[in-house]
Amino acid sequence: MYSRIAGTGSYLPAKVLTNADLETMVDTTDEWIRSRSGIERRHVAAPEESTSTLAAEAARRAMQAAGVTAADIDFVAVGTCTPDFIFPNVGTLVQRHLGIHDTPAFSIETACSSFMYSLSMADKFIRLGEAKCALVIGAECLSRIVDWNDRSTAVLFGDGAGAVILTPSETPGILTTLLSADGQYSDLLYFPYGPSSGFDKLRAGAPGGISMKGNEVFKVAVNTLSSLVDKTLAKAGVDKSEIDWLVPHQANLRIIQAAARKLDLPLERVVITVQDHGNTSSASIPLALDAAVRDGRIQRGQLLLLETFGGGFTWGSALVRY
C-alpha cells in the first residue's frame, strides 16, 4: 500500500508587501533583496487572520481538488512554527474551522521542514492502513514573529499556507520520504522566546524576532541539501535523470539554483515561487506544489522531488509520483 496526493490547495493573504514597501521601513534596497535572495514581494496576513485560518482555507481548496469532504478526513497534520496558541494545537483548530471530528489532529514544529515531517507521518499512517484520507498542511504567519526593525530578516519572510490530501493507492504515490536533523546548529536560526524559556521577557515586551546567521545557514543548507538529494535518490533507487520536477523549499533563489545544478535540472524544471512569496517556512513547498499543479506544469504521473531545510537544523525530502 502506498499513499498518493489526491489534491492540493493553497492560500495567500491578500496584502502584498513589495521590496519597494520595505525600502520605506528599513535601510534596504530592492536590488539588495533581489540579488541576495531572489525575493520581490511577500504576502502578509490581515489582523483577523491567523495560522489556523490560513491553514483551513488552503485545506478547503485541497479538499475540493481531491473531491473529499470533512466527513472523509481521518487524519490532520499541520506543520508550523507560528501556531495560533501554545495549545490547542493548530490541527485541532483546523478541525474546528472545517467541521472535522474524532480524528488524530496535531501540529509539528520542525520549522521549514515541518510540512515534510507531517507528510512523512501521514504517509506512514496511510501505508499502515490506519488512515484513509489524510489532510496535511504547512501554514505560517511569520510576519508575527519577525522583528520589522531588523533588515537582515524582515525582508526574507512571508505568510501563507498550502495543503495536500493523501489517500491510499496500490501504486506509488509517495515513493519514499527522508527526514533528518542536527541540533548542534540550533543557535544559527531560532526564535529567542518560548513558553518555557524567556516567556516572561516576551510578556514584559522584550524586543527581538527571528534570529539568523544567514551566511552560515546558507553554507550548511547547500551542503546538506546536496547530500540529501543523493541519499533520497539512492534510497528509492531512482536516477536523477528520472526527476521531472524539483519542488524545493523557497528560502533563497541561490540555494534553489545549487540544488538544481546538483540534479542537472534546468531551472525550467524547478518550481520557483520565492520571488512572489518570500520564505514561508513550512508553507513554501505545498504552496509551490499547488501553484505548479494548478497552472498545469505538474502533470499526473510525473516524478517530483520535494526537499527542504530549516531551523534546528532539520531537513527532509520526498520523492513523489504525482
- Per DSSP, the residues of 26-86 read SS--HHHHHHHH---EEEE--TT--HHHHHHHHHHHHHHHHT--TTT--EEEEE-SS-SSS
Could you tell me the three cell numbers for 280? 514561508
Find the binder of ligand COA among 218, 220, 244, 269 (CB under 6 A): 218
Contact 12, 69 (CB under 8 A): no
309 in contact with ligand COA (CB under 6 A): yes
Q: How far is the CB of 151 from ligand COA (least distance, A)?
A: 4
User: Applying CB under 6 A, which part among 47-55, 117-125, 216-224, 262-270 lies near ligand COA?
Assistant: 216-224
Active-site residue 112, yes or no? yes
291 in contact with ligand COA (CB under 6 A): no
Find the binder of ligand COA among 2, 28, 34, 275 (CB under 6 A): 28
Q: Give, to the nearest 10 degrees, the angle between helix 114-127 and helix 284-294.
A: 70
Closer of 169 and 257 to ligand COA (Cβ) = 257
Contact 319, 174 (CB under 8 A): yes
Spell out the residues 6+ positions from residue 194 whose beta carbon is closer than 8 angstroms to its own.
none
User: Applying CB under 6 A, which part among 29-37, 67-75, 76-84, 292-300 lies near ligand COA?
Assistant: 29-37
Q: How far is the CB of 36 from ligand COA (least distance, A)?
A: 4
Q: Amino acid letter at 219?
A: K
Instruction: With H, G, I as helix, E, B as strand and everything else as coil, classify residue 251.
Output: coil
CA distance linking residue 108 with residue 99, whole number of Å: 21
- Residues 49-108 touching ligand COA, rule: CB under 6 A, are none
251 in contact with ligand COA (CB under 6 A): yes
Could you tell me the three cell numbers for 109? 514544529
- Residues 105-124 touching ligand COA, rule: CB under 6 A, are 112
10 closest CA partner among 158, 137, 167:
137
Draw the binding track, 132-171, toward ligand COA (x: CB under 6 A; -: no contact): -------------------xx--x----------------
274 in contact with ligand COA (CB under 6 A): no
Closer of 132 and 213 to ligand COA (Cβ) = 213
Measure CA 278 to chain center.
12
> Active-site residue numbers?
112, 249, 279
Positions in the binding site for ligand COA (CB under 6 A)? 28, 32-33, 36-37, 112, 151-152, 155, 212, 214-215, 217-218, 221, 251-252, 255, 279, 309-310
